[in-house]
Amino acid sequence: MTTYIVRRLLLFIPTILIVTIIIFLLMWIVPGDTAMLILTGNDPNEGGRVSLEDVERLRAKLGLDRPVHIQYGDWLWDMLRGDLGESLWYQTPVIDELGGRFITTVQLAVMGMGLAFIVAVPLGIVSAVKQDTKLDYMSRLFALLGIAMPTFLIAIVVTYVLAYVFDWLPPLDYANLWEQPLTNLQQMIFPALAIAFHDLAFTARVTRSSMLETMRDDYVRTARAKGLTEMGVIGRHALKNALLPIITVSGYQFGRLLGGVVIVEVIFLVPGIGNMLIDAIIHRDFVVIQAVVVLVAAVVMFLNLVIDLIYGVLDPRIRYQ
Amino acid sequence: MKFRRIGRPQWLLLVSCAALLVVGLACGGTTTPEPSTAPSQAQQSQPAASGSSAEAAPTPTFTPMPTRVLDATPTAIPVPTPVSIDERPDWWQEGEGKHYRGTFPMVGNSNPGFWDVHYGGSLNTTLMPSSPRFNQLVEYNPVKPSEIIGDLASTWEVSDDGTEYVFHLKDATWSDGAPVTAEDVVFSLDRITLPGAQRARTGFLRAFYEHQTAEVIDTQTVRVPLKYQAPTFMPNLASDYMKMYPKHIAEDLTQEEANQPENLIGSGPWLLGGWQKDVSYTFERNTTYFKEGRPFFDGIIVHLIPDTARRIAALQAGQVLGTFNPFTGVNRPEAMAVLEEETDGQVRALILPSAGFEAYFLNNAKPPFDDERVRRAFYLGLDRDLGIERAVRGFGQPGTFFSPGVVEDLADLRANNPAFAEDRTAAIAEAKQLLAEAGYPDGLSVKMNTRNAIPTLPAAEVAGEQLRRDIGIDIEIVPNDLATTYAVMRDGTHEISTVGTGIILTDPADILNQFYLQDVLRNPQNWQDDRVDELIDLQNRAIDQRVRQGHLEEIASILHTGSSHLVVYFWGGAGGALDYRIRNFHLPPTVQQIHKWDHVWFDPDREQPTETGYQP
Amino acid sequence: MATRDITAEGGSQVRNALLGIPAAYRSTVDLVRRKPLGAVGGATALILIFVAIASRLAILPVPDPYASVGDIFLAPSPEYPMGTDVIGRDILSRVLYGTWISLYVGLGSVLIGITAGFVLGITSTYAGGFVDLAFQRVVDALMSIPGLILALSIMAVLGSSLNNVILAIVIGMLAPVIRTVRSQVLTLKEMDYVTAARAIGARPQRIVFRHIMPNCLAIYIIMATYYLGFAIIIEASLSFLGVGAPPDEPSWGGILTVASREAPETGIWLLVFPGIFIFIAVLAFNVLGDALRDVLDPRLRGR
């Protein structure tokens, strides 16, 4: 077990290195840089004389004129010493902002997945137990509604309904969960619902197939043969065992959400990682992009390791080499 | 079925639906949605304000039509009119009487970027958040923007040959209590013109003023010599970018420190309260502001909402009472007009008709547009009226090279230039013939590097469809974000590029500097014409306005042969919206002017005007 | 297994084809009876494919989807059943033609992405050793980079076009596909008949082509249907972020993006038609995928 963990942890190193190299190369070939944006502005109605000489001078100042391998080397060295660098655009240390944003996104992901879980697991159980009946079809269709719409459509429709039907919108000015929990909840619940709606299909589907599988296992048959009620069989035996893959898959899904809730964050004004990323991409702020990606990648990998370990602890059939 | 003994698991379905509903309602449905107390009370009292409850106020009907757009185009060069400090116009008194206690909610659309106005160069990221904290030496009169009045300066004299200005300062203080002195003014002028430093928008001043030539005469008087007699010196100096900084603070700051929000201080009406990225920034009133009694609010909070639909929803629901500062290209005029209609006139549309233009940059260094005939065919073939009608729904004016009404006469163009004629047949025939002569009798296909913003993208779609139909230029639109668009333009691989561009001053020099000099970003392949270069130089130095106008008209006539790298499609507007109870905002000539926000006030008792549009 | 091998080697192509028809018919009937929901999904998918081909061949009685035919933003009327768009093109013909574009993007990315995922996954697993270890790190890395970053930068580098959208989607789906294929192959490798084949001295190529690939086919088909829906949604999201197909291409995502931009001024009805088409298509492919999985997945077949 210990060797397994050590081995997995050691494998983190090459993976993170590959992540940074991929991102650096991508950013290197993506056209445009921060210098030009600083000079030209961001609004469609911007004017002003910008000379090409100014652009070159600013690029040199920001260090964007160095060869890519030097930039990468310097960046890597700084990061190893724990310095994530300063945003090219805002000129503030990236680390100052990263923590708070990360927590916000985690909160959103947890709420979204939690809501999805509450609805999807019962739905999945129903469709497994009542496989190929009307009830199965109905619950499966319901679970699929969210996945069949792009998230931005869900978000726009939700905003529209709130504003024009209920004449209410979540309060502006993002409130911290610890300081103003009620306001925070009002702001976060709708993006969380949008995420939940989208994730429903996935979790419900895993629940259903996992339940179908366990219900054919011998011990479930035995339990039933012993004369347990159907509720008892499902609740105590089948569900308990089916839950394991559900939790595992949800864990991976959670990691995916951390980097993937951008559109929801933008439309619902959640100051999380996604908003930070999109802002950084628009400004070609490579330093911020690198920092965010490395953080997300590290967390996702760590999460996956933890899930694998938990899986091993809970499922005695699995042994780690 | 094997599982016959199961009860009825439908309850699971019910429970799950109920759970969703309960959570949704608990968090959303029951709470009261008031953004801040004072304005919302005022909002509720709006219909009853007239007093007579029985007689329902007639609901005015709004038909926001493009035709009623205010024409704010002033003369090319505003008239400098010295104003003494003792002069307190009537509105000042009225504003003080309506002082707003509380933090006034408004909306912005993008994060601040650089807090040093000398350095940064963008309306949304620099000017809007920073301008309210500082003063200029002179400013555009906020209630009559065609005038230039003193800001920190009370009066000034100009030498007879026009190459020397002497400014007398008012008694003003920095927000740390130190007095504003002539030393500070000299320091700031030199900081603006510092050689080698990045001065995205302020750098123009270098054309008129030689670094380190201004002198202190006494603590309240400063002498500023110019390189030559320049009629555009004062209009540039009055721009909101030309801020005065306190020497004792700013001289110790590195550029990086000055770009941070907390380091610089100013003498302006507002102090920065706080800033949270992607959320909001706030201002607190500077209680020691030298324009006594101003500004007329205790504080302002600017909520940042980048998503257009959400921003409009917030305005519509009364969560915010206006767009801060208030124009930006991302608030589309047509959207603002609809907003006014849908809120029954609660929120009023502000539309600046010719804030900037949509134009096509033809790559003059590469086929097919290296051929002057093809460029001219493009210039002729473009249906400008169709572009206005479709891409900006009528809120625009045909694409003259200079600000509408400043140099070219549109009626004359309509009558004598086929490209602008209402009847398109002559232009199309000539364009087709030019293409045939250039070796493209069957038309040609090109890629268009297009900024994916509004109205650039819809404009490109309209133009592409129309050009393909009319003259056989088949355009493939390649949308890019701003950074890529400029990068592709600069590296010369593009065939056509399009990116909306704005102006800082309506003065023609602004256009000439942006597009027709060599080695500037917006002339990426260095299109050049000897006579144009000569005329640019001549008009810079022309003392007599009529002579200068003559030079500019000649430049325009050269450009209207359609041979340059730039073809202007149409001039489009910038929009904003203010609650009708916000008083005293007057339309500036460009989006980049009048950003201190120290002259408007909120009058909760105002009766809703029956005229459409924003009334000061 | 043995039976199948003999038929494949001994029987003629013609006989196989003839035998295939009633078998296919029987299994279709069986599918409709046992999986009505999946059958509805399959039928919808067929209709969509028909619409796509018809609009591609321009045999539908609608105007040119690329040309403006009237005023901008006309509300739905008998002449323009879904109204007109931002430059006065008929939305109905754009949405119908969008079926072709969306299926082109969807099928294109699914076929390329999943095939490539299979090839890479199987090759890497069979290569084993250091190659596999290194390759899995690349897959890990790709999986832990936020998909948005990859898609946005690929589109920024390559420029916006339909084929580049396909490429961006492919790169986004590659890593999870490889991961799934890998776990499947690892399971199959340990199966008795594979071990047996190895024991009697079959070459690795033969094992892969005879035993592994056919057994992966079920997974392939299931993944293809799921990812088809996924690709349609991603295409729309890319459009929304401003890096999708060029705006004059009538993709559903593009039409919906313009609609979402213009809805505050023009009306929410703009969102309805492209939204419904996306909804129906994604739903249909997902339902079909679910049914196929129930039928094909050996672990769920069970009765």
Measured between beta carbons, the chain C residues lying within 8 angstroms of B343 are none
C-beta atoms of B481 and C242 within 8 A: yes
Chain A 281-310, residues with CB within 8 Å of chain B CB atoms: 282-284
Residue C37 has a pLDDT of 85
Q: Which residues of chain B have pLDDT under 50?
A: 1-17, 19-75, 85
Question: Looking at the partner chain, which of B113, B319, B328 has a beta carbon nearest the beta carbon of A169?
Answer: B319
Residue B39 has a pLDDT of 38
C-beta atoms of A301 and C140 within 8 A: yes
User: Residue C59's pLDDT band (boundaries 50, 70, 90)?
Assistant: confident
- Minimum CA–CA partner of C72 in chain B: B390
Minimal CA–CA distance to B222: which of B250, B183, B267? B183
pLDDT higher than threshold 60 for residue C10: no
- The minimum CA-CA distance between C53 and chain A, rounded to whole Å, is 23
C-beta atoms of A19 and C229 within 8 A: no
Q: How far apart are CA A28 and CA B186, in angstroms?
A: 43
C-beta atoms of C157 and A296 within 8 A: no
Sign, CA dihedral B104-B105-B109-B110, equals positive
Q: Kindly report, residue by residue over A201-233, the tens digit of the pLDDT.
A: 888 988 888 888 888 777 777 777 777 777 777
Measured between beta carbons, the chain A residues lying within 8 angstroms of B276 are 174, 271
Question: Looking at the partner chain, which of A42, A139, A231 has a beta carbon nearest the beta carbon of B125?
Answer: A42
Minimal CA–CA distance to B401: which of B503, B263, B286, B270? B503
Extract the runs of DSSP E, i.e. beta strands, from B452-581.
473-480, 496-498, 501-502, 566-579
Minimal CA–CA distance to B128: which of B453, B574, B452, B511? B574
- Please tell me whether residue B139 adopts helix, strand or coil conformation: strand
C-beta atoms of A156 and C263 within 8 A: yes
Q: What is the amino acid identity at position A100?
A: G
- Block residue for tokens 């500023």: B224
B314 has a chain C CB within 8 A of its CB: no
C-beta atoms of A271 and B277 within 8 A: yes
Is B357:B348 a contact under the CB 8 Å cutoff? no
Question: Looking at the partner chain, which of A31, A126, A171 has a beta carbon nearest the beta carbon of B12?
Answer: A126
Q: Kindly report, residue by residue over C159-195, the tens digit of the pLDDT.
A: 888 899 999 999 988 988 998 888 888 887 777 777 7
Residue C113 has a pLDDT of 94
Residue A41: which residues within 8 A CB-CB, separation 6 or more? Answer: A48, B121, B122, B123, B124, B125, B126, B200
Residue B421 has a pLDDT of 93
Q: How many CB atoms lie within 10 A of CB C286?
A: 25
Question: Count of B–C CB contacts within 8 Å?
Answer: 63
- The minimum CA-CA distance between C159 and chain B, rounded to whole Å, is 7
Mean pLDDT, chain C, integer: 83
Minimal CA–CA distance to B477: which of C162, C95, C69, C260? C162
Is C289:A198 a contact under the CB 8 Å cutoff? no
Residue B79 has a pLDDT of 63
Minimal CA–CA distance to B410: which of B388, B436, B438, B392? B388
Is A268:A227 a contact under the CB 8 Å cutoff? no
Question: Looking at the partner chain, which of B16, B121, B592 has a beta carbon nearest the beta carbon of A119?
Answer: B16
Q: How far apart are CA C38 and CA C303, in angstroms?
A: 18
Rounded to 5, what percent of chain A is helix, strand, coil?
A: 75, 0, 25
Copy the structure tokens of residue B227: 């390189």
User: Residue C88's pLDDT band (boundaries 50, 70, 90)?
Assistant: confident
Q: How far apart are CA B489 and CA B494, in angstroms?
A: 6
Q: Kindly report, residue by residue over B63-106, the tens digit of the pLDDT.
A: 334 333 333 333 455 666 665 545 788 899 899 999 999 999 99
Residue C253: which residues within 8 A CB-CB, separation 6 or more? Answer: A150, C102, C232, C235, C236, C237, C238, C239, C240, C244, C245, C278
A70 has a chain B CB within 8 A of its CB: no
Q: Tell if the pTM clears 0.80, that is, is over it.
A: yes
Query: Please, what is the Cα angle at A123 between A120 and A128, to 5 degrees?
Result: 120
Report chain A (321 residues): mean pLDDT per 10 consecutive residues: 85 91 88 80 60 80 85 88 87 89 93 92 89 86 88 87 85 87 91 90 87 78 76 76 80 81 89 90 88 90 85 66 48
Minimal CA–CA distance to C160: which of C238, C84, C52, C260? C238
Is B5:A156 a contact under the CB 8 Å cutoff? no
C-beta atoms of B28 and A189 within 8 A: yes
Which one is predicted more confidently, C194 or C130? C130
Q: How far apart are CA C229 and CA C115, in angstroms?
A: 17
Measured between beta carbons, the chain A residues lying within 8 angstroms of B280 are 172-173
C81 has a chain B CB within 8 A of its CB: no
C-beta atoms of B19 and A118 within 8 A: yes
Q: How far apart are CA C271 and CA B232, in angstroms?
A: 49
Question: Looking at the partner chain, which of B335, B461, B478 has a beta carbon nearest the beta carbon of C86?
Answer: B461
Residue A276 burial (CB < 10 Å; 0-12/13-18/19+)? buried
Residue C196 has a pLDDT of 82
B388 has a chain C CB within 8 A of its CB: no
Question: Looking at the partner chain, which of C66, C243, C263 has a beta carbon nearest the beta carbon of B309?
Answer: C263
Domain C39-300 fold is MetI-like fold (1.10.3720)
Residue A77: which residues within 8 A CB-CB, separation 6 or more? Answer: none
A185 has a chain B CB within 8 A of its CB: yes
Is B488:B352 a contact under the CB 8 Å cutoff? no
Residue A319 has a pLDDT of 56
Residue B77 has a pLDDT of 58
C302 has a chain A CB within 8 A of its CB: yes
Count the alpha carbons within 13 Å of A3 in the hemisphere toward its beta carbon. Answer: 3
Q: How far apart are CA B297 and CA B132, in angstroms?
A: 13
Residue A317 has a pLDDT of 62
